[in-house]
């Protein structure tokens, strides 16, 4: 495997920043070498430096996209953050349902959904704990910039290692079917999630509804402060006044983001407009 030249790593970092606002640390060139290995084999006979140079050339549009997708951190798993799940079930959703009982609508957005475990976990929580939502108009939208992640998310197919990360055995048996060496979310749950390709730092589709809940977990931490603020202000305008924003366990909101923290059970990481 070829070693990446510092100037090419620097091009790659700029590319990530320009395309998806993600800042790669300056000491992670080895990560690029590992992640770009198979693209380099496909396009430049294993030469990673030639791959980056090709992608940065005028005609490298599609390759640039593939490079950025290959470099994006898409780590995720089912039912990430158990305290969140508990507070979601015991506090947030019951409160929201009380407030929405006349129009019976619920709009949820998983705004950096990676390979789908997050939105499917939400769909499973609703299915398992809120049977009364059956006659509500519930929409779960899940988006990511990455075509590769979205394609896997849409298929709802996972290998054993992914299934073993966070998914209780009972839910696996009830809501998944085995296909060869993989498991697929059953259609009745899959159909509850609508996938869209949205880059958080580009324009968002005009047809996006106003949301009751926005999950923006484990993505803003890779953005600069200025880009975080930009995205948060857009999320604020996409969120109903009494809706909720959820961040990842390691993320906190800066002041002036348009949201303030609210306590919901043991979890203090829910935010509401204000
Ligand atoms: C670490 S994963 C988090 C997945 C999930 N939210 C979770 O917490 O388990 C981060 C995701 O953000 C996506 N992402 C990064 N930059 C993005 C951008 N500018 N627009 C949309 N998605 C982005 C990546 O493709 C990746 O799927």
Helix, strand, coil proportions of the chain in percent (round to 5)?
45, 20, 35
**DSSP state, 219?**
S
pLDDT band at 194 (very low <50, low <70, confident <90, very high): very high
Mean pLDDT, range 195-212, rounded to an integer = 97
**For a substitution probing ligand 1, which of 81, 112, 117 has the most ligand atoms within 8 Å of its CB?**
112
The pLDDT of residue 57 is: 85
Instruction: Name the most confidently modeled range: 52-61, 76-85, 187-196.
Output: 187-196
Q: How many CB atoms lie within 10 A of CB 20?
A: 23
Average pLDDT, the chain: 93
The pLDDT of residue 18 is: 95
Assess whether pLDDT exceeds 80 at residue 177: yes
Q: Which two tokens stand for residue 108?
A: 């949820």
**For a substitution probing ligand 1, which of 75, 114, 216 has the most ligand atoms within 8 Å of its CB?**
114
* Residue ranges of domains in the chain: 6-71, 82-273
Distance 99 CA to ligand 1 centre (A): 30
Q: Ligand 1 pocket, 228 CB below 6 A?
A: no
**For a substitution probing ligand 1, which of 70, 85, 111, 144 has the most ligand atoms within 8 Å of its CB?**
144
Distance 217 CA to ligand 1 centre (A): 8
Nearest CA to ligand 1 atom 27: 114
Q: Which two tokens stand for residue 122?
A: 């939400």
Distance 97 CA to ligand 1 centre (A): 28
Q: Which fold has domain 82-273?
A: Rossmann fold (3.40.50)
Assess whether pLDDT exceeds 80 at residue 100: yes
Assess whether pLDDT exceeds 70 at residue 45: yes
Q: What is the pLDDT of residues 16-31, one digit of tens each?
A: 999 999 999 999 899 9
Question: Which value, to the nearest 10 degrees, does the dihedral of the CA atoms of residues 94, 96, 100, 101 take?
Answer: 10
Distance 219 CA to ligand 1 centre (A): 5
The pLDDT of residue 2 is: 67
Contact between residue 120 and residue 185 where contact means Cβ atoms under 8 Å apart: yes
- Own/partner long-range contacts of 167-175 (Cβ < 8 Å, ≥24 apart): 167/78, 167/79, 168/79, 171/124, 171/128, 175/124, 175/127
The full DSSP string for 50-87 is HHHHHHHSTT-HHHHHHHHHHHS-----TT--HHHHHH
Q: What is the pLDDT of residues 248-266, one digit of tens each?
A: 988 887 766 789 988 777 6
- Own/partner long-range contacts of 94-99 (Cβ < 8 Å, ≥24 apart): 95/264, 96/212, 96/213, 96/242, 96/243, 96/244, 97/130, 97/132, 97/133, 99/242
The full DSSP string for 125-156 is HHHHH-GGGGGSEEEEEEEES-HHHHHHHHHT
Mean pLDDT, range 95-116, rounded to an integer = 97
Assess whether pLDDT exceeds 90 at residue 81: no
Nearest CA to ligand 1 atom 24: 74
Assess whether pLDDT exceeds 80 at residue 60: no
Q: Which two tokens stand for residue 182?
A: 């993989």
Mean pLDDT, range 200-224, rounded to an integer = 96
Contact between residue 12 and residue 52 where contact means Cβ atoms under 8 Å apart: yes
Residue with tokens 């704990």: 129
Assess whether pLDDT exceeds 70 at residue 223: yes
CA distances from 133 to 85, 93, 126, 137, 197 (A): 17, 11, 8, 8, 27
Assess whether pLDDT exceeds 70 at residue 267: no
Q: What is the pLDDT of residues 144-165, one digit of tens each?
A: 999 999 999 999 999 999 999 9
The pLDDT of residue 255 is: 67
**pTM attached to this predicted model:** 0.96
Question: Which value, to the nearest 10 degrees, does the dihedral of the CA atoms of residues 46, 50, 55, 56 take?
Answer: 160
Q: Ligand 1 pocket, 76 CB below 6 A?
A: yes
Contact between residue 69 and residue 146 where contact means Cβ atoms under 8 Å apart: yes
* Furthest CA-CA distance within the chain: 62
Assess whether pLDDT exceeds 60 at residue 179: yes
Distance 132 CA to ligand 1 centre (A): 31
pLDDT band at 72 (very low <50, low <70, confident <90, very high): very high
Which ligand 1 atom is the nearest neighbour of the CA of 21? 19
Assess whether pLDDT exceeds 60 at residue 1: no
Contact between residue 74 and residue 112 where contact means Cβ atoms under 8 Å apart: no
The pLDDT of residue 253 is: 79
Mean pLDDT, range 192-216, rounded to an integer = 97
Residue with tokens 């002036």: 256
């Amino acid at each position: 495997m070829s070693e990446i030249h510092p100037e090419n790593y620097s091009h790659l970092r700029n590319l990530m920043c320009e395309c998806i606002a993600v800042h790669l640390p300056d000491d992670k060139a080895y990560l690029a070498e590992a992640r770009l290995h198979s693209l380099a084999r496909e396009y430049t006979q294993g030469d990673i430096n030639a791959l980056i140079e090709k992608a940065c050339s005028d005609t490298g549009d599609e390759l640039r996209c593939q490079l950025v997708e290959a470099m994006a951190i898409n780590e995720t798993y089912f039912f990430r953050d158990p305290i969140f799940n508990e507070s979601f079930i015991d506090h947030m959703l019951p409160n929201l349902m009380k407030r929405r009982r006349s129009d019976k609508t619920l709009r949820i957005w998983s705004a950096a959904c990676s390979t789908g475990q997050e939105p499917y976990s939400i769909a499973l929580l609703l299915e398992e704990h809120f049977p009364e939502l059956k006659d509500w108009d519930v929409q779960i939208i899940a988006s990511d910039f990455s075509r590769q992640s979205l394609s896997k998310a849409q298929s709802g197919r996972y290998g054993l290692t992914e299934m073993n990360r966070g998914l209780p055995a009972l839910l696996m048996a009830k809501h998944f079917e085995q296909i060869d060496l993989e498991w697929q979310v059953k259609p009745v749950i899959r159909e509850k999630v609508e996938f869209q390709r949205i880059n958080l730092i580009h324009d968002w589709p005009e047809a996006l509804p106003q949301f009751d809940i926005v999950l923006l977990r484990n993505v803003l931490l890779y953005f600069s402060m200025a880009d975080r603020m930009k995205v948060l202000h857009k999320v604020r305008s996409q969120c109903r006044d009494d809706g909720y924003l959820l961040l990842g366990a390691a993320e906190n909101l800066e002041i002036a983001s348009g949201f303030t923290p609210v306590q919901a059970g043991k979890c203090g990481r829910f935010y509401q407009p204000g």
